[in-house]
Structure formats: structure tokens, C-alpha cells
Structure 1
Amino acid sequence: MRSTNLPNDAESIITSGAPRPRLTFLGVGPLGGTYAACYAELGYEVLGYDVDEGRVAKFNAGELPFYERGLDELLTKNLANGRLRFTTDIREVAEFGDVHFLCVGTPSRPDSHSADLSYLESCVTTLAPHLDRRCILVGKSTVPVGTSSWVQQLLDEHSPADVEVEVAWSPEFLQESNAVQDVMRPNRVVLAAQSDWAQQLLQAAHKGVYELAAQEDRDVPLVVTDFATAELVKVASNAFLSTKISYINAMADLCEVAGGDVAALARAMGHDDRIGNKFLRAGIGFGGGCLPKDLRALASRAQELGVGESLRFLAEVDEVNTRRRTKAVKLAAELCGRQVGPAGPRLDGLNITVLGATFKPDTDDIRDSPALDIAARLRNAGASVTVYDPKGMDNARVAQPNLTYVKPLSEAVEGADLICLLTPWEEFRHLDPAALADLVSHRRILDGMNALDPQLWRNAGWTYQGMGRGN
């Protein structure tokens, strides 16, 4: 049930005289850690919680356990002014918070594509017995539709009988490498609550966002809705974006056989306001900790609810995306003059340099990274593979220890028979083909994200191959 008596607009949040609640963020990974520092910057008293003692110790020392652009400054500033701190003590969390945000991970289950809610369950059942006053527990983690009612049942079972605790929901829409801006200056805020009291408290927890928007003369759309819609919006958005990416990658395959240029095709399509040009860059496909698992989890949940046929196309979206990695290895082999047989190519004796290990630029996140997976496939095909990435090599070395990691870039490309640009870092976009020419053994480059100017490289004597752009 949603609140109907309160005005549900941004102006009402700004003018509300409600005091600012104290906020806790349970789970301080890239999601909760970013929110905690940003909301402290917005003027809230904030306590971050995690079971990982090492992570909490790093945060309290002013060190980020992950890379996120601009977050280190906010962390240092708000630790110093006392608005932000971190703990592993769940009792302290219960005593401190008026609004508790659930920010724990919901990865795919090991036995299926369904979301694993075990971390969420553990967090709720650990906190609930220690709650001693009326408060709300707000879901930010990406979950299957219907989760909020289950969380409320857990709270009712495990919290003291005389303490009223309500579930609310406010999904996150953070993009890694832009997460600070996405928290401080969101493109929308979605809220769902069961009662007017919970709705008022939830709005008070977002008042700082709207005050900043008013100061900067910006609009932040507010959507007050039901629980099912609030739970669906993040996975529905990610599935849509995944579909758009796979669509243009499918067009890249068609362009290759028809003699077209998918980059020009995407530009032409993007001028249609109904389509837009975002997420129309053909390449090696999407990865990361959100899009792949959210796509699969949505399809799995639809199947559980009896409407799996309606979302059956998502399986092909996933397949198109996965095939891009195989396609990249095939193109790499062809560039080097190797045959591609039924079992795939053999790349023995080749030195290949892969530029990029993270799933996108400006992050150190290598989860389900197409770049790192392709690097591993090249090695499995017999090549000697050297990897360079500006931020992600430490994480990549743990995930793929059999690859060779070298920096700086100039040393990584020495003696390469082929360079594969697989993560479009700004550093790679501005490479000088003439400067690299004397470092490599052969002037061959596979532009896996169509990030380079083909003519510039060809004029410098390189054999250039993009994705869906012909030869």
C-alpha cells in the first residue's frame, strides 16, 4: 500500500519541516560506500556497516577499498567533520539509525540465474533483533519483484514485538565511474512506502538531494509508486539497456557481411529522438556486476511468475552479448593470418597485448569483464598475452593470474604481434599510432570498442580492424 495523503512532489520535500533522520548504509561496497559518503556530504549523520573488518578499517582510515572517481575527497572530508564513520557492530547500527538502507549484494545464485538473496536475508535478520525504536528499512539493493513483502515478514519475525519497523523501497541507479554524480545529482528518485509516516521519513532522507538541486536550479523528477514498480525499475532499465547494446552488436554482424559501417549506422539511428544515441556503440559487449546478472535475474523471475514467454527474448539478448567475445577472438586470429577451425583458432607463437581489463573505463571493477575474458580466451588459444589497464590490474591479476601484467603501456606493447583495445579508457583513445609503430613487432590493432579513428591508424601503416566496420 502506498501513501496517498502526503503531497508527492519535490517542492514538498524541500519545504518540509521534518528533521533530518540519521542514516545507516548496510553493506559498504561500491553502492553503500558511495551513498554513505555522498549523503554525509549532503549534511546527514551517516554510519556505514559491513561484516568485512578490513573494508571497514580502510574506510575509517580514509582509504577506499575500490576506485570511484571523486569519492576519496568526500570520504576524507566527512570523516574529518564527524558526519561519517563506519562500523562492524550491528548493535551500534540499530542504536544509531532512523533510516537503514539495505545495500548488500544480490549476485546470481550458483545453481541458477535467480538472484541470491542470502546476503540480504542475513543482513535483515542480524539487524532486526537489535532494533529498539520505530524506524524504516529501505531497500536499495537490486532484487526480484516481490522481495519487499518477504523482507517485511523477516522483520516481523525477528524484531522485538513492541518495535514497529516498516519496509520501504528506493532503488539505486548508480553507474560506476559516475556514481558520485548519480547520488548527488540523480536523474530521478523513486520512492515506495507503506504508510504516510514511512513516506514522510523516506522523503526526509532524500531532502538533501532536493535542496542541492534547488541551489543549482535543477529538476530531479520524483516518482512515488508501489513496491512492485520500485523493485522492477532497476532491472527493467538494465534489461532495456542490455537489449539496446545487443541490438547494435547484432547490426555489427550484419554490417560486416553486407559491407556497412556500424558506427555510421549508429550515428544515423541515434538522430531519431525515439531511439537516441546512447548505448548504441558496437563492440565486445557489456559486462560488470549489474547488466548481465540483472538481465538473467529478470528473465528468471518472470519464469517463476508464469510470464517467462513474454521475456524469452532476453535469453537471445544474453546470447548475442556472449557471442561478441567469441567474435573478438576470431577477428584477432584473422588479423594475424590464423585459420579459425571448428574448435576455434590456434594462436601459438603470437604475442598479443590487451589494452584494458575492467568492464568499462574509469573503474577498477573486473566483474564479468568482456576485456579480461577475451584476454583469457586468447591465452587459452595459445597466445602469450600481456595486459595493461590504468586501474584494474591488481584485481585482474587475482582473477586471471596466468596472464602477464605490465606497465607502463609503452612496455606492455613492446614486441606485440597484435594490440587488442578492449576497454575504451581515455588514455587509449588518444594513442599515437606513429609512436607505437616502432615498439611493436607487427602493426596490427583490433579496436574492440570502435574507439579509434580507423583512417588515422591505416595512414600510419597499421592493419586496423573494428567491430562491424569492415576491413
Structure 2
Amino acid sequence: MKISVIGCGYLGAVHAATLASMGHTVVGIDTDADKVGHLARGFAPFFEPGLEDLLADGRDTGRLAFSTDMDLVADCDMHFLCVGTPQSKTSDVADLTYLEAASRSVAARAKAGAAVVGKSTVPVGTVRRVREWLGRDDLELAWNPEFLRQGTAVKDSLVPDRLVYGVDDADDDAGVGVGHRAVRILDEVYAPLLHAGVPRIVCNAATAELIKSAANAYLATKLSYINAMAELCDAAGADVTQLSAAMGLDPRIGQRYLAAGLGFGGGCLPKDIRSFRAQARDLAVDSVDAWMGLVDSINVGQRGRVAALAADLCGGSVAGRRIAVLGAAFKPDTDDIRDSPALDVAVRLAGAGAHVVVTDPKAINNAWMRYPQLQFESSAPAALEGAEIVLLLTEWPEFRALDPFETASRVRRQVIIDARNVLDGDAWRAAGWDLYGMGTGDAGLLSSVETHAG
């Protein structure tokens, strides 16, 4: 099939390259000429493992192209809407400005009978609005939510856990929309995945709109729950790593997303749960509204706990202290710094008068111009030089593999906060370090640490 992908950010670029690898002819459209130029040359404008290999393959086969020219979508059989739906600058609701512009632009050019399929994460009720923006009865419309994780987005696209199709008449007498033309077209698009046994769920549009947000809300709940348990463990002198290991052995609970630490960030999970909360509020579902508010507050509170612990370990104030921060990206295997817990903590410490030096394997270029109050170093050894306290805030393999003896030779004081609970505490302590984790009982020994500090 000939397919257009509108919006070539994290979602769109990966989706376009994946579709081309399945044998389709794909054109990716974006208004950002620099981004399009990188992609057209086979270079990803952001770090995502495996993406440049897919881009190169698509370019070499001639199946993948990128452009700023929207007119190139005119002869496509299908159009995927992959534009951003960021949190509004004035509220928790999703900003659908880009989605509206993309929908109207496609409608002005699409040939009759083409399918328009949304992949962006949107509030419930958005599909009805897209139908209005399209303003054409001769275009099929469906919603096919994405479930990509940054750092594993290529794998998640090539070997997804499930495919979800949301269509207008999924509750028809034919049986949950299986005869719907949009379903048949999507089945053709994803034929290699369906033949490989990937589960397919066909549902109505409202269900498809809620699935991604509901899944993210559940994952955020698990993360905030174990971080709340970490605070309890610190207060009680217990160890949350052993607690979570024991809990995870229960098959009803499972190990995944039960790692206590600094909490979640990024461009998706925080804004998705806030949008989910706003949707619940609009629908007068107070329980979900309150629940998501608590999840969000626990998550943000972890950042304050780490900053407060650092101040306590510096005698009550970080003013004038040199602090090394290991990590700028919101998680490993990405250069994305949106809502990064690591940078949030670094900025808090700098605001309290500390001289903060940050290093990260991939995210330095994205961070240094946005945070002039911080110093950035391209290597961990340079960032560690003369540090009076070290904070491990993003669990990159490079930081987990640091040698505690060699690291000790660079710092002024051997004090480290392992805010991701990934270091071998026994090995670091044997090397003379005072190491403090999150919920491992260490911070509980420091009675002056303020919990949930702002």
C-alpha cells in the first residue's frame, strides 16, 4: 500500500520506518524542515536504538521518503496521524491544535475512499472531532493507538504486544466491526504482524481512545505505589528492594514497574495521566480524578525527597557545594529530557545555591542550552572531578558500571545517592563510600530529611 505518516517525531518517524520495512511505500510529512532533512538522509534527529538502521533500509529500498510537502499525500491509500498532543500550557488537558491542523490538511488532499487512522494519544471523544475536522463522508476513519516505549520503540513496532483498532460502528450486528472497511485496510497494513500471531482487538472509538491512557495510568500507579512504599520503608528501616522482589513473585502482581526510585518523567506518561485525570473530571468520575492526582503527587514528591536528602548529607544546605549529577535524560536509551526527573532535581539544587555539574551519554546537547544554571560535561570522569556529593539519577549502563575505587579518586567526598537503586551497595561501601538508596533504609537514618519537599 501507499501510506502517508503525518508528523515525524518519536512516534511518526518510527512508525513510518516500520511500515516501510513491512513492504509498504511510505512518505513521512512534517513541517520541521531540519527534521525532515535528517530523516531523508537516513539520520534520526533523536536517539532511538535501531531507528537509523530502519531508516537506512527504507532509503536503500526506495520505500521510504520524507518531505515537508503535504501535496505528496494526495495519492496515498492510507494516512496515519502521528502528530503530538502535548499537555496544554494552561491546563492538564491535551492540546489538539496539531491534530486539528493535520486532519484538515489531509482532508483537503486525500483521494476518495482513503483511510485516515489516528495513532496519537488523545482524550476520549476526539474521534468525533476528527470526523468533523475531516468534513468528508468518503474517507474511512479509525483509531489505532500506539504503545511504544522510548528506548525500545523499534522493537515495540516490529514485535508489538497487541494491535487495537477503534472504529465508529464496532458494536454493529456483524460483530465488533470485523466487516468494517477500515478494519480490512488495517489488516492489510499489518498483515505480517497478524500472520506472526500478534493479537488484534477491534473495539469502538471511545474504547480505543481510552486504552493507551488507561494503560499508562496503571503503570504510573505501580511506579508511584512502590515509591510510596519506599518512603514507608525509609521511615521503618526496611528495604524496598527486598519488599518489591517478594511482592513481584506473586503472579497477580509481577515484577515489572515495581522498581522504586526517582520516579517517572518524559513526554508521555506525566502528560497522559494528567489528561486522563482531566477527562475523568469532565465526566464527573471523581474517583479516577483523585486517584490520578495522588499518583502524580507521589511521583513529583520523589524529586523533592532526593533534593532534601542531598541537602541533609551536605549538613543542611547545598549552597556552595559541588554536586555531580549522573543523568539528564528522563530514562536510559533516549536523549529525551522532557519532564526529566534528573534535571528537575539538578535545577532544584542549583536554585539552592549548589554548583551542579551534569553528565549524560546522549542528552547533553538537548539540555545545555535550556538550563544555563547548570554545568554540563560530556564524560562522567569530568563531572565527578572534585564533587562533594554524587547523585545517580538516570540508570544508564555506563553509570551502573562505574568502578567505585576509580570513582573515589576523583571526588572530594565519597558520598553518593543512588536514586535508582541500581548500584551494588556492598561493593561501593567496601570502597569507602557512604551510599544512600531510595527506600533501602539508609535515608531513614537521617531524621532531618524532609519528605515531599517542594
TM-score, normalisation: structure 1? 0.90
Residue in structure 1 matched with residue 143 of structure 2 by the alignment: 169
The 5-angstrom pairing of residues 76-87 of structure 1 reads: 76-87=56-67
The 5-angstrom pairing of residues 146-185 of structure 1 reads: 146-156=125-135, 159=136, 164-185=138-159
The DSSP-based 3-state class of the residue aligned with 1:398 is: coil
CA contact (8 A) 1:192 1:227 kept: yes
CA contact (8 A) 2:187 2:194 kept: no
Residue in structure 1 matched with residue 110 of structure 2 by the alignment: 131
Instruction: Tell me how far apart the structure 1 counterparts of residues 12 and 327 of structure 2 sit (CA, whole Å).
Output: 26
Does 137-146 or 399-408 show the bigger shift?
Answer: 399-408
CA contact (8 A) 2:277 2:288 kept: no
Residue in structure 1 matched with residue 417 of structure 2 by the alignment: 446
Alignment pair present for 1:361 and 2:332: yes
Alignment pair present for 1:22 and 2:2: yes
Alignment pair present for 1:380 and 2:351: yes
Residue in structure 2 matched with residue 33 of structure 1 by the alignment: 13
The 5-angstrom pairing of residues 71-220 of structure 1 reads: 71-95=51-75, 97-156=76-135, 159=136, 164-194=138-168, 196-211=180-195, 213=196, 219-220=197-198
CA contact (8 A) 1:303 1:309 kept: no
Q: Structure 2: which 5+ runs fail to align?
A: 169-178, 443-454
TM-score, normalisation: structure 2? 0.93
The ranges of structure 1 where at least 4 consecutive aligned residues each deviate by more than 6 angstroms after the TM superposition are none
Q: Structure 1: which 5+ runs fail to align?
A: 1-20, 214-218, 340-345
Q: What do the CA deviations read for 1:346-400 (whole angstroms, capped 9, x no partner)? A: 3112110000000000100000000011111111111101011000001111321
Instruction: Tell me how far apart the structure 2 counterparts of residues 301 and 399 of structure 1 sit (CA, whole Å).
Output: 31
What is the aligned counterpart of 1:247 among 205, 208, 225?
Answer: 225
Residue in structure 2 matched with residue 11 of structure 1 by the alignment: none
Give 1:220 deviation, angstroms.
1.4
Instruction: Tell me how far apart the structure 2 counterparts of residues 151 and 407 of structure 1 sit (CA, whole Å).
Output: 44
Instruction: Tell me how far apart the structure 2 counterparts of residues 41 and 132 of structure 1 sit (CA, whole Å).
Output: 25
CA contact (8 A) 2:360 2:379 kept: no
The DSSP-based 3-state class of the residue aligned with 2:91 is: coil
The 5-angstrom pairing of residues 273-312 of structure 1 reads: 273-312=251-290
Give 1:285 deviation, angstroms.
0.8
Instruction: Tell me how far apart the structure 2 counterparts of residues 443 and 279 of structure 1 sit (CA, whole Å).
Output: 30
Alignment pair present for 1:232 and 2:232: no
Residue in structure 2 matched with residue 397 of structure 1 by the alignment: 368
CA contact (8 A) 1:42 1:209 kept: no
Cα RMSD between the aligned structures?
A: 1.1
Q: What do the CA deviations read for 1:313-357 (whole angstroms, capped 9, x no partner)? A: 110110001111100001111222x22xxxxxx311211000000
CA contact (8 A) 1:24 1:46 kept: yes
Equivalent pairs: percent with the same residue?
47
Give 1:222 deviation, angstroms.
1.2
Q: What do the CA deviations read for 1:138-160 (whole angstroms, capped 9, x no partner)? A: 0100000111111011112xx5x
Q: What do the CA deviations read for 1:111-137 (whole angstroms, capped 9, x no partner)? A: 110010001001111221112321111
Give 1:455 deviation, angstroms.
1.1
Give 1:205 deviation, angstroms.
1.3
Instruction: Tell me how far apart the structure 2 counterparts of residues 351 and 276 of structure 1 sit (CA, whole Å).
Output: 40
